[in-house]
Amino acid sequence: MRRLALCLLPLLALQLAACGARPDDAAKVTRSPDDLLGIWVPDAAPRELTANGAPPPLTEDAAAIYAEHKQRYAAGDSGYDPTTWCAGPGLPRIFTMAYPFEIRRSGDYLAFIYGWYRWFRVVHLDGPEITEIPTPTTLGYSVGRFEGDTLVIRTVGLIDTTVMDAHGLPHSDQLVITEQLRVLPDGRLENRMTFEDPETFTRPWETVLTFHRDPSARVTDDVCPDRLAAGEPAERVPPEGTTVAASPAPASAPAAPASSASEGAAPTTPRLAGLWEPKFFGILVPEAKFSPLGQQIVDRNAKEMASGRIMHTAWTSCRPGAISTMTMPRERILVMESPEEITILYEMPRMVRRIRMNAEHPQNLEPSYVGDSVGRWEGDTLVVDTIGFNGYGELGAHGQPTSPQLHTVERFTRAADGTLDIEVIITDPEYYSEPVRIKRGWKPSESRLPQEYDCMENPREEDFENAYYMRDRYRPVCARVAGKGMELSRMVCGKWE
């Protein structure tokens, strides 16, 4: 009987459409994209991917590389895995990490916002297949479509410097990943991934990863280099045999974003959603009026630079604060919009900013690089107020400092010609005697997807004698050491002075 009912379902959908139901309504019956939205926590953090229990079908050469990586892993050396020094884990490695992630959707874009080091991945829904790859990246270029209740994503253009699992499963840049994501009857999310890479595997193979809901889970602003500096590993791994715990929200953390259900249920006309790029390139930080203390710091920086030293700021040490998204961006931004939250994904500096709409700042804010942003509409202008910064962030390459007193107000206005004006007022009485004002123009991007910016701390060993760190926090833990003769360089993490 059940089988009969299932067979009749498509017919029923067709019938509904034929009876005058709008095509959109019919689509909602058979396609349930909203079920996938929201925060998911991995059921496990497998160190090794299997082809449904069997070893992946590796070619002889690839098998030798994997065996060598496994030996190194057993000896405590994960130097083959870029995550070790906070570089991009890539696909599918990022799904094997014990960090929650959120799936958000806005128009033709679906984004995975990962809990590990500010990574996000944008999928172009219902777009044409990607045939041109400008440059391979760790998360590649993804196009998705719904087939019934299953989201099918095809990803190409994956850079060959990542590994597929923590034990170092290799792949080439010919790797093509097809994911099938659906919510199982028990409420968990299943990602059925198929890997095709003739340079690495003798045949296509499949693995299945699952994820669950946890109301306490949050996707927070994780800054990997700070964890390394604190002596923690780049990747937090739960003890073997235990399930992955959701990372608890700090006491002062704002409420979780709206659930997937309400996100889908409260449609409003998005006003800013889409992919934007700057109208023009230029120097974006105007002359600032410094306080005596601020002047002292920029003078000190200028003196250091004048002596030929390389100055390192939060930006160059891959820890930019939200202030950098206001003063320095020259790349694309993706705005995702729902009534409760506007999420902005910044290409460079790579960052996810969340603007809670019609909300208040919490009383006891935990200072952070991104601060706490709340927004409201004033007519057609989105006004974003941000406080709660941690004082690590500079306005520009001259090292114009910020303090925890930093307060920013951004006004996003859609102009009549369809472009976007963003005006920022930066106030920080600790270092500036007057507010700093910046105005910028944006236009809809002609690109389909944002570009990836895999910022990694990669100072070179020989740079150290010439480096000047604005703050001690910006000192790197890992550095690139040149190989002797024709030997390749390698990243070494440890104490660098």
Residues found near other proteins in the complex (CB under 8 A):
87, 134-136, 159, 161, 280-284, 302, 305-313, 315-316, 318, 328, 330-331, 348, 396-398, 451, 453-456, 458, 460, 462, 466, 480, 482-483, 486, 488-489
In this structure, the number of other CB atoms found within 10 A of the CB of residue 306 comes to 8
Smaller CB separation from other proteins, 161 or 194: 161
CB of 399 to other proteins, least distance (A): 8
CB of 439 to other proteins, least distance (A): 16
Q: Which long-range contacts (CB under 8 A, 24 or more apart) does 468-471 make?
A: 468/301, 468/304, 468/305, 468/309, 468/310, 468/311, 468/312, 469/311, 469/312, 469/317, 470/301, 470/311, 470/312, 470/313, 470/314, 470/394, 470/399, 470/401, 471/314, 471/392
CB of 120 to other proteins, least distance (A): 16
Smaller CB separation from other proteins, 77 or 462: 462
Smaller CB separation from other proteins, 259 or 458: 458
Smaller CB separation from other proteins, 313 or 390: 313
Smaller CB separation from other proteins, 167 or 480: 480
Type of residue at 73: Y
CB of 281 to other proteins, least distance (A): 4
Q: Do the beta carbons of residue 120 and residue 352 sit within 8 Å?
A: yes
How would you classify residue 90: left for phi > 0, otherwise alpha for psi between -120 and 50, otherwise beta? left
Smaller CB separation from other proteins, 182 or 312: 312
Give the integer Cα–Cα distance in Å for 36 and 38: 7
CB of 157 to other proteins, least distance (A): 10
Give the integer Cα–Cα distance in Å for 250 and 392: 20
Smaller CB separation from other proteins, 15 or 451: 451
CB of 151 to other proteins, least distance (A): 28
Q: Do the beta carbons of residue 271 and residue 382 sit within 8 Å?
A: yes
Q: Do the beta carbons of residue 181 and residue 174 sit within 8 Å?
A: no
CB of 311 to other proteins, least distance (A): 5
- The Cβ-side half-sphere exposure at 335, using a 13 Å CA radius, reads 21
